[in-house]
Structure 1
């Protein structure tokens, strides 16, 4: 779409109240135009033909045809950027993760039944997601309500930067950061890992109610053991630790081993968990024993953290633009010179394993 053109959005939801609130929230951004709404997928199908929207917001549960069936048909017959709208429940999380597998770009998790009570915060989030969705494929009238934007904090708000990086003995660690498109990218990566792979720490931008179901879903598709990280949990080979959606994940050395630490500090780069926080903790505690990768995602969270890891002697890489849903985070890191190499998604698992073997060999021969 043209850079000067407003993002045309069709809102699909069976609730008249939610359709009204979503339309009002999206109208807060002058770069977005809500061209229509639909109460169910069959109406939406006709309005897509009539209105030619750039982005669809799609409710998970609707009459006449459920959101997943409609999404699957849409991606087969007329692929377009879709942002799913789901509830913060275990069931909502599972269905939303399935929608991302089917091709949805991102999701907006309704905080509760009363969206109006958190209007400004919710509006900022959905507008940002819709605008980013609009540029994920090559294929933005009403009165504008100014939004209050919270201050953007760095990793300093959670963990001071260490003056020197430590490198401990034992197996190397793999660190992964991701955002938009990341749930699928992480799945592709983990499916290719053997059961005895080095420990993997993952920070994926995800709501608190979704991180547990996401970890359980990854556990079912990976030969490694995947879990939502717990505070004080020892870090072991063959295990994957997913940052909870409510806390930052840090890696610390407790004198004998690496352990997970959870930090309930402020959002960093407007994210909690933040990739920058994970990467900074590893720069301080593991240094050159770390192999880190920054996957697809909007914004730049993780870019400066990856640079800190690179400067601490870690091996760093990013996902390439062609295989990324959004080349924001990896692109920012690449432009900073934070990564030693860039790889397509389907090559990253093998490359991480090769690099950890090299890192381990270098450490044992030193």
Structure 2
């Protein structure tokens, strides 16, 4: 006697479907340039190239994008007005706001983040300047790919394909069947992926808090500093957020309001004091140096580090010479791995590193790199980071 068992077909390819991108910009030159860049990537496709926010709202269902690149200044319906209407139609749409580097556009971009945009990208004043165009190209593709990673992870698994054929298997006698079941029960269960190694907190009291962040960072930082008053009042807080000029000026103002403490872009040569938040200005790396008994800010116009300027690693590594083992570094949401090498150096010098967890990160690139390197004393959701920092700076070393 026999029974027919169906077998699933072997998939022809394990490639994921490309990310579907909608480009919305009133400049035909910009739309064409961005569309060519996206179409050149094997994991992306342009599903719509549109001139106004109104066209984007009207064609959203037909195009069904995963990601919308949305200009701020457009006729008929601008980006900030189109944003809530797009998200009302598709709640999980990832929106990247695009704007030139003006104070007004920076303020609008921050408003867009509060309304549900996932990120922003500054457009160069002219695409004729090769350096500016290359940076814009690199940053745009990286943002689309990094933010699109969550789309792929949360997409439902495809339904099993119909069987190609049936295989005839002999029906086993009861005794043989029981032996086979026993053998199957003895098969090893696949192990869960190993968890990142945790490094113990430093036994030395921290003397400064250093923070690095990128994509999703502005929202995370404003949430964090609102509950960080007891730390800010007693210790200096230095932040590097991947962000261009003008945008960092606006971010510092937002941080001051959220923390109810002084916060501003750092000034070259100024003395670092407790009770203040120092933000690396866009376009310049921020380091700290010792001048006798005092610690001062040192800004430089060197080349990008990890494709970023400002970058986190220069701040992290410079702090070791100043505070030795008294450095506590925090790596928040962001794409790439900036902060991981500096974090390694901090831990090697006796300091500590904390990272934001994957579930609460917009992109788990930077904190994920630090966590997977085994240098973190804790990997925490965003709402648990401020309470933990308050405890650590108050003497808790667990």
Is TM-score (shorter-chain normalized) higher than 0.5? yes
Structure 1, 65-74 or 33-42: larger mean CA deviation? 65-74
Task: After superposition, give the CA deviation of every residue in 1:142-190 in whole Å (9 maximum; x if it has no partner).
Answer: xxxxxxxxxxxxxxxxxxxxxxxxx9x9981100000110111111111
Structure 1, 271-280 or 11-20: larger mean CA deviation? 11-20
SS in 2 for 1:286: helix
Q: Compared with structure 1, are the counterparts of its residues 126 and 171 closer, same or farther at alpha carbon in structure 2 (3 Å cutoff)?
A: closer
Structure 2: gaps (5+ residues):
1-13, 156-201
Distance in 1 separating the partners of 2:352 and 2:88:
39
Distance in 2 separating the partners of 1:210 and 1:11:
23
2:369 corresponds to which residue?
Answer: 332
Structure 1, 225-234 or 283-292: larger mean CA deviation? 283-292
* Alignment map for 1:2-17 (pairs within 5 Å): 4-17=16-29
Find the partner of 1:68 among 69, 75, 80: 80
TM-score, normalised relative to structure 1: 0.85
Q: CA deviation at 1:63?
A: 2.6
Aligned structure 1 segments of 4 or more residues deviating by more than 4 angstroms: none
Find the partner of 2:138 among 124, 129, 150: 124
TM-score, normalised relative to structure 2: 0.78
Q: Which has the larger radius of gyration?
A: 2
Structure 1: gaps (5+ residues):
140-166, 362-366
Distance in 2 separating the partners of 1:48 and 1:123:
25
> CA contact under 8 A between 2:205 and 2:393: conserved in structure 1?
no
SS in 2 for 1:46: helix
Distance in 2 separating the partners of 1:27 and 1:265:
33
Distance in 2 separating the partners of 1:120 and 1:253:
36
1:52 corresponds to which residue?
Answer: 64
Find the partner of 2:97 among 51, 67, 84: 84
2:390 corresponds to which residue?
Answer: 353
Q: Give the RMSD, CA atoms, in angstroms.
A: 2.2
Q: CA deviation at 1:103?
A: 2.2
SS in 1 for 2:297: strand
SS in 1 for 2:263: strand
Distance in 2 separating the partners of 1:44 and 1:76:
13
1:181 corresponds to which residue?
Answer: 216
> CA contact under 8 A between 2:285 and 2:299: conserved in structure 1?
yes
Q: Compared with structure 1, are the counterparts of its residues 275 and 3 closer, same or farther at alpha carbon in structure 2 (3 Å cutoff)?
A: farther
Aligned length: 331
Distance in 2 separating the partners of 1:357 and 1:229:
26
Distance in 2 separating the partners of 1:100 and 1:256:
41
Find the partner of 1:224 among 236, 239, 261: 261
